[in-house]
Structure 1
């Protein structure tokens, strides 16, 4: 009997596949491409809009963020209109059946990828030994876990995206981590006196009469 995880994976994959089949492969791919194109437009064209926004937003990074956001949404609307008209024309053509079939396969892959991402995030929050029984005994768990490990292994090191000055700020050791507080360290100019050696003779105090070792008597 399938567990709750198996039923959830099947439901997500089927819903994604049916939606992609109705929309068509071309529309699904162009939808992703439109988001990428809009993001690129907002990033590279934001400097052309910032002079018009300076009277309203004078400080950075708010000025650049506002300009990039406006360009992103405008570009997304324009590109989406073009992609919808193009995909509808393809669906009504002779290759419409092939486009829907490819869309179904695309939806299956997309739905399974969403399940893998969800499983990976859930495993980060809750280790395998603490997961519920319906999740540990699911038939799809080994496949989700295997694909999730392969995907995470291909991801780049996210620390490379962090600015170097920020990394140095967090990686710089604190004074207490470097061997105690400054008050606990001996002063280099006033070193602490060392303990006398056990084998060295102890000097005797001088005589009160001013003499040496003979107690003030003449030889």
Structure 2
């Protein structure tokens, strides 16, 4: 995709309980002040009518027909392909900034690392996204045990949040490994207080050459 404007695609990533929602609000406010208009906000899976229906399939457990790992992976990429084609790329081409709640890094970590399907993830990612990626990804890093405690305090857990602790430990290791090899991924310590996390995020955003 060719972009002659200065639009940006920024994504917030993290395990359950890392504080993505408050971080997204903070980054959204920063973008609005920086460019004079609110970003286009997306979430994954979801973000289009079809992708939202896929989200329900992935998030809601059906004991009579358990979702197998490979189907989960393919459904997530189907939802992502819809979102990128129908929302994200058109917004960027218009010159709008896009702020995403999760993107491809989540599939690399959860389905690739957590599920052990990295070969499938890499193939499907290349087929659906090619070299398309965010300009900046902010990964909120947290110990899975602490994150899940925080998530449980919010209310009932969904199918993904109910996975075993070692699933999230593998996902976290993958997040950190990928971040170490990619300068466009910034790691923020999400075990800090919210005020400290927000201070670090703002410092990161202010350091960028927009």
Do they superpose with TM above 0.5? no
Where relative contact order (Cα < 8 A, 6+ residues apart) is larger, the structure is: 2
Structure with greater helix percent: 1
Structure with greater strand percent: 2
Greater C-alpha Rg: 1
